Structure 1
Amino acid sequence: MAIDTLRAAIAQRRVVTFFYKGYSRSVIPMAVGQSRDNTWMLRGQQVAGGSSSGGTSIDAPKLFKIAEVMDIAVSNDTFAVPSQYRPGDSAFVVIEAEL
């Protein structure tokens, strides 16, 4: 289950890889939880791969719908907590796991 994989990746501070909206991505997972409409979401910072928004730049953390994440895997790459990370993400009404 993707939520269990993301929970483990957050605890181990490991980058995850997955396909999302047709693009392969590498993402630093910051938080997993449910949004106001009860959708399971990942807050993460993309560090490699493509994007429908037109780039591979490392920028502000994004929200990913977990139901649309495919072929998720935990990589061997570790990370330091990004400076953009803010605990208690207001996008979530329930936080399952966070840095």
Structure 2
Amino acid sequence: MTASEIGTTLGHEHHDRAITIVVNTRPCEWTERTISYEEVVELAYPGQPIGEADEVTVRFTRGHAEKREGSLTPGRSVKVKDKMVFDVYRTSRS
């Protein structure tokens, strides 16, 4: 599933044009005005299930003026802008 398909299936509002966000150093085209924690995780680890022993941290930088940087937690979302950067860290407890 592409980045655009992920957002479209959730019914987000669209940008007038696709923008580029960066997820774990990989550019991704995004057409929605917001992105959720779950969508960022799916872009970072496409098709990989997240188990109960896994912990995923999502941090972002280069956001909008009102929230230039921060963290996303499950169930939350953030407005996106062109060249916004997301770093997604996955750790497993043994």
TM-score (norm 1): 0.29
More helix, by proportion: 2
Bigger radius of gyration: 2
